[in-house]
Chain A
Amino acid sequence: MSSDSLLDRIAGIQDMGEKWVYLLIIIGVIVPTLVPLNMPVAISEPTRAVYNYINALEPGSIVIFAVDLHPVTMPECFGAMMAVMQHIFSLADVRIIATTRGTMGSDILMMGMNTVYGGLNVPGKEYGVDYIVMPYIPGGETYVAQLAQDPQSMYTQDYFYNFVEDLPLFQEFQNGADIDLIVEFCHGPQFYDYLRHFNAAYGTPIAISVVAYIYAEVMPYYATGQFIGYMVGLRGAGEYEKIVGKPGIALQGADALSGSYAWIIAVIIIGNIANLLKKTSGGGN
């Protein structure tokens, strides 16, 4: 085979249908899923910062668990949600108020609780005293603003239709000053609401698990200390699962993440070489 023919073949890769690229990526995901490579997962500093902060919470602390997820973007943060939930529940007398500003947030939280604890059967914890799940209230930022200023006026019942007067933990939540940490799981710029109404008004520390496409927006707020730490996407969730020793779906997907990214990088490099070759031979984009 002559070198010109080989170069022509490489240049011709550009004309390969995108279906073949999809197939390569799917293979790059399936193979590591079926044959785990157990590649090491290094823990990043922002993820460790979240772990250290939660570990140092004093007994009696109240944490808002803001599950602002949607099924489309749930895959990235679901593992982190379950790992952080298990971590907080393992601490003595640290209590959780689960809230949501999305229609499906509380349901996604219950999916996680059903997976880990089979429902509300958290060992050593009593519903209403140690943790509560609040329902969806529409309003977006106005909801978060009111949650920070006067949550008692917002809710009549919790997610399970218990009246709030019967929930001792909720009675302790009068405003943002009563909250010791917010852990938010979001799929978009919803974190700005908590930044504006909790952190700016009451100095409430915020830890966040975000999808990767808004990771760049989160970094400046970590740099200034407004976020005490963050977990990015499936990778961050896998890191947190590793730190707390509760491997789950995120660590399971870490190998597939590396495999698929290796394929993407290879495709980008080969595609650019092919484009360059085609350009030099008088064609191509």
Chain B
Amino acid sequence: MVSMDIGVWVAAILTLCCYSILYKEGPLYRFGEATAIGFGLGYTIIRTLDSLRGMTVLRWQGGNFETVIPVLLGVLLYFRFVPGYRWMQRPTLAFVVGAGMGISIRGAMHAQFVLQIAGSIAKIPSNPIDAFTWVVTSVGTLTVLLYYVFAHLKTETLDPPRKLGRYMLMIGLGAAFAGGTLTWITDIIVRIQFLVLTWLGL
């Protein structure tokens, strides 16, 4: 039975508007696209303001003023729109970039370099299938590194492993593209399920 929920009907109509691009671009698609972008942006603004309220107004009312300086730094960012005073945003940008980099690097060295390198050179598994996987992974890692890092070394000896590295890279990118296809197909499936099962009630 067809759904009588107004929200379901709105969602179904907007879905069909967006899918009209499969036939050709027109006012329906542009309406659906603009609605999606507008609602998304508006929602993000409201949620961010709500979060800001919790970090500023509520704390200041309780006598906690530790967020005053970050708020002032944030206000300085808006001087990018004032000709002649754009330099005032630099301290904030420097703080954001510096703090962000410091915070990322601290954990990245251990989690994404040390542990991954250790995992790559771990002892060969006894299981034949795992051992084959270990060999392929190790050869692939070394040859791809050779292709990228040592690309400037012009020696014929390194050409065959570099070529193998390029093929390994293509296989990896192909697998990543296949994953992307799976994501897109899933989006279609869930939307079709919504239209067929939830909206039309078939």
On whether A141 and B103 interact (CB within 8 A), knowing A135-B54, A233-B183, the answer reads: yes
Q: Please name all residues of chain A whose beta carbon is closer than 8 Å to the beta carbon of B43 when the two chains form the complex.
A: 103-104
1/0 per position for A225-258, CB-CB distance to B under 8 A? 1100000011100000000000001001100110
Contact residues on A (Cβ < 8 Å of other chain), bracket: 35 or more
Task: Report chain A residues within 8 Å CB of B103.
Answer: 141-142, 145, 197
A212, B183: Cβ atoms closer than 8 Å? yes
Does B115 make an interface contact (CB < 8 A)?
A: yes
Question: Are B100 and A142 in contact, CB atoms less than 8 angstroms apart?
Answer: yes
Is there an interface contact between A30 and B196, defined as CB atoms closer than 8 Å?
A: yes
Verify B186–A103 contact, CB threshold 8 A: no
Partner of B189, one of A137, A145, A216, A253: A253
Asked whether A264 lies within 8 Å of B180 as measured between CB atoms, the reply is no
Q: Does B138 contact A (CB under 8 A)?
A: no
A168 interface contact, C-beta 8 A: no
> Bound complex: CA of A29 vs CA of B190, how far in Å?
10
Write the A40-80 contact mask toward B (1 if CB under 8 angstroms, else 0): 00000000000000000000000000000001110110000
Q: Please, which residues of chain A bring their CB within 8 A of the CB of B176?
A: 213, 216
Closest A residue, CB atoms, query B64: A156
Shortest CB-to-CB span from B98 to chain A, Å, is 12
Contact in complex: A33, B197 (CB < 8 Å): yes
In the complex, the answer to whether A29 meets B104 with C-beta atoms within 8 Å is no
Q: Chain B residues near A75: list those with CB within 8 A.
A: 186-187, 189-191
Are B119 and A224 touching (Cβ within 8 A)?
A: yes
Contact with A along B83-122 (1 / 0, CB 8 A): 0000000000000000110011011101110011011000
Name the CB-closest residue of B to A252.
B193
**Nearest CB to that of A79 among chain B residues?**
B190
Whole-angstrom distance between the alpha carbons of A233 and B189 in the complex?
12
Bound together, the chains give a CA A199 to CA B175 distance in angstroms of 27
Known contacts A196-B104, A220-B119; decide if A34 and B196 are in contact (CB<8 Å): yes
Of residues 98 through 127 on chain A, the ones whose CB sits less than 8 Å from some CB of chain B are 103-104
Within 8 Å of chain B (Cβ to Cβ): is A131? no
Q: How far is the CB of A87 from chain B (nearest CB, A)?
A: 22
Q: Judging by beta carbons under 8 Å apart, are B99 and A29 in contact?
A: no
Question: Is A211 located at the chain interface by the 8 A CB criterion?
Answer: yes
Query: Are A73 and B183 in contact, with the CB atoms below 8 A?
Result: yes
CB distance from B142 to the nearest CB of A (A): 15
28 CB-based A-B contacts, threshold 8 Å: A33-B196, A34-B196, A73-B183, A75-B189, A75-B191, A76-B186, A104-B43, A137-B54, A138-B48, A142-B100, A142-B103, A156-B54, A156-B58, A197-B107, A200-B107, A200-B110, A200-B111, A213-B176, A213-B180, A216-B176, A220-B116, A226-B111, A233-B179, A235-B182, A252-B193, A256-B193, A260-B185, A264-B181
> Besides the contacts A212-B180, A221-B116, what 9 more A-B pairs have beta carbons closer than 8 Å?
A19-B22, A30-B196, A75-B186, A197-B107, A211-B183, A211-B186, A233-B186, A253-B186, A256-B189
Residue positions of B touching A, CB distance < 8 A: 22-23, 40, 43-44, 47-48, 50-51, 54-55, 58-59, 62, 99-100, 103-104, 106-108, 110-112, 115-116, 118-119, 172, 175-176, 179-183, 185-193, 196-197, 202
- A binding-site residues for B, Cβ under 8 Å: 19, 22, 25-26, 29-30, 33-34, 71-73, 75-76, 103-104, 135-138, 141-142, 145, 155-157, 192, 195-197, 199-201, 211-216, 220-221, 223-226, 233-235, 249, 252-253, 256-257, 260-261, 264
